[in-house]
Amino acid sequence: MLGKEFCGLHVAIRLLCPWNSPASAVAKSLQSCLTQCDPIDSSPPYSADFFIQDINAGLKDETEIPDQLVPISSLSEEQLENLIKKLRKASEGLNCTLKDQIMSHPALHDALNDPKNGDSAAKHLKQQASILGNIENLKLLGPRRCFVEFGAGKGKLSHWVDIALKDAEKVHFILVEKVTTRFKVDGKHRKKNSVFERLQIDIQHLCLNKIPLLSKEKLPVVGIGKHLCGVATDLALRCLVETYAASCEERNEEPLAKRIKNDKTEKEINTLAKEGNEKNIPEKWTPVAGIVIALCCHHRCDWRHYVGKEYFRALGLGAVDFHYFQRMSSWATCGMRKTSLEASNISTKRRGKQNDGSEEHDDGGYAITDDSPESLPGFLTVEEKKKIGHLCKLLIDQGRIKYLQQKGFSPALQYYIDPLVSLENVLLTALPNHSSSPETTA
């Protein structure tokens, strides 16, 4: 059973389907779902070739994870102080001030200035505009590539990428979302130059190499995501740089630049150059052209799936430390702007709403949990707890940075939006480092 969490995707209690375990349903709807489910034949996508159980899960090391861990609110003041000392020692030398990379894109100009938008719509449009601006700034916005949107929800980020690309040739979109989503926008796209494909599957089991579109076209992949919750970020990174990139390199795929030269006419080349898109065609073939993911919900991370375990171990940290750091990360966004009563009322209202699997996650700023500042010992001020929460998030993200560096990428963390728009305002980007070969890790 999954419990109540901070963002919209996790507010409802869900149960795994007893007949089709990769699937789940809202608890109150489970019986209704079972009447419509075939207990013998699993329906797609779980019977599809690209579903491979736990392919992106990482190594399972149960010996490191105790059976039971008490909540932070049950720790003594001394135990909590020791945890914070460990955190500060491990974080020594880290740059705690990230670069501001708040951008926009003309594709969203009209939408951003539409007076009909409410505060919530405007907030998400600003984030989408900045992510799109960062994608373009990294020269990833161009023809002949496949954008894979993880945690796609309604597909709005891919929608704006498609709008920005206009009539760029051979652009494909794969939208990955594990829950059924209402009000999807990808179905509205009917342009001849772009193709949208939606996969209802958990990233943990997704093998991109087995998707016919990618195996046939051999286009470089750009991994994108807006507010990709905790563990989903680690699964997506492993899906891209281990499962997909490593397999493509083993098959020694033909360089993209060579294929472009062979199958493009002079007229096509001139047209792309005139549109300014030719400069965004990578000169060297790489299976993963880039990664642009807005991070979210570090409290939803999981030690088994975390890609930065090697980094933590090098600092003398293990599964127990990670568990408490990821819980403490919620202090950065939890209960800082509302009183306990106000937050409780908001949380109750949210739990009463139907969860449609949307990517429009809230930033966790109003949620009150067992690990929130109001439930902890009082020897730290709220501001101190907030700083500790940010430090936990930074340390977890640093493990992801080290992982990507080992895999031959040049990664970076930056603030992509003002915290007044969203407290979850960190963007992870990565480009392949062509000057060095990816290192192999166990």
Task: State the Cα–Cα distance between residues 195 and 282, nearest whole angstrom.
Answer: 21
pLDDT, mean of residues 196-202: 92
**Residue 313 domain-assigned?**
no
Q: 221 and 145 in contact (C-beta within 8 Å)?
A: yes
**Residue 35 domain-assigned?**
no
Cα-based distances in Å from 333 to 101, 126, 428:
20, 19, 18
Least confident of 148-157, 181-190, 222-231, 408-417: 181-190
Task: State the Cα–Cα distance between residues 409 and 290, nearest whole angstrom.
Answer: 9
Q: 98 and 413 in contact (C-beta within 8 Å)?
A: yes
- Residue 383, classified by CB atoms within 10 Å of its CB into exposed (0-12), middle (13-18) or buried (19+), is exposed
Q: 397 and 426 in contact (C-beta within 8 Å)?
A: yes
Task: State the Cα–Cα distance between residues 329 and 78, nearest whole angstrom.
Answer: 19
**Residue 276 domain-assigned?**
no
Task: State the Cα–Cα distance between residues 23 and 305, nearest whole angstrom.
Answer: 19
**Residue 111 domain-assigned?**
yes
3-class DSSP state of 302: coil
Cα-based distances in Å from 411 to 237, 408, 420, 430:
12, 9, 25, 4
3-class DSSP state of 279: helix
The one-letter code for the residue type at 83 is L
Task: State the Cα–Cα distance between residues 107 and 133, nearest whole angstrom.
Answer: 10
The one-letter code for the residue type at 36 is Q
Binning pLDDT at 50, 70 and 90, where does residue 366 land? very low
Task: State the Cα–Cα distance between residues 216 and 213, nearest whole angstrom.
Answer: 5
**Residue 437 domain-assigned?**
no
Instruction: Please state whether beta strands 171-176 and 145-150 pair in parallel, antiparallel, or not at all (unpaired).
Output: parallel
Estimate to the nearest angstrom the gap between the alpha carbon of 157 and the chain centroid. Answer: 12
Residues belonging to the chain: 442
Query: How does pLDDT run across 271-287, given as a tens digit for each residue?
Result: 444 444 444 554 556 89
Task: State the Cα–Cα distance between residues 39 and 36, nearest whole angstrom.
Answer: 9
Estimate to the nearest angstrom the gap between the alpha carbon of 45 and the chain centroid. Answer: 21
Residue recorded with tokens 């016919």: 212
Query: Which is more confidently placed, 348 or 28?
Result: 28
Residue recorded with tokens 């051999």: 218
**Residue 79 domain-assigned?**
no
Task: State the Cα–Cα distance between residues 15 and 126, nearest whole angstrom.
Answer: 34
Supply angle C-alpha 251, 308, 69, rounded to 5. Answer: 135
**Residue 188 domain-assigned?**
yes
Binning pLDDT at 50, 70 and 90, where does residue 166 land? confident
Query: How does pLDDT run across 235-275, given as a tens digit for each residue?
Result: 999 999 998 877 676 555 544 444 444 444 444 434 444 44
Query: How does pLDDT run across 78-118, given as a tens digit for each residue?
Result: 999 999 999 999 999 898 889 999 999 999 999 999 999 99
List the one residue out of 180, 171, 216, 223 whose CA is nearest residue 198: 180
Which domain does 232 fall in, by range?
95-250+285-305+408-431
Cα-based distances in Å from 208 to 201, 221, 225, 240, 381:
12, 10, 16, 8, 46
User: N- to C-terminal Cα distance for the chain?
Assistant: 31
Q: What is the pLDDT of residue 113?
A: 93
**Residue 16 domain-assigned?**
no
Domains: count for the chain: 1
Largest CA distance in the chain: 72
Supply angle C-alpha 376, 9, 368, rounded to 5. Answer: 20
Q: What is the pTM of this model?
A: 0.77
Query: How does pLDDT run across 327-353, given as a tens digit for each residue?
Result: 999 999 875 444 333 433 434 444 434
Q: Which segments within 187-335 are labelled E, that is strand?
A: 194-199, 221-229, 288-296
Q: What is the pLDDT of residue 381?
A: 87
Q: 385 and 80 in contact (C-beta within 8 Å)?
A: no
Tokens for 278, please give them: 């030719």
3-class DSSP state of 351: helix
Name the DSSP class of 330. Answer: G
Residue 207 belongs to domain with CATH number: 3.40.50.150
Percent of the chain topping pLDDT 70? 67
Task: State the Cα–Cα distance between residues 117 and 120, nearest whole angstrom.
Answer: 8
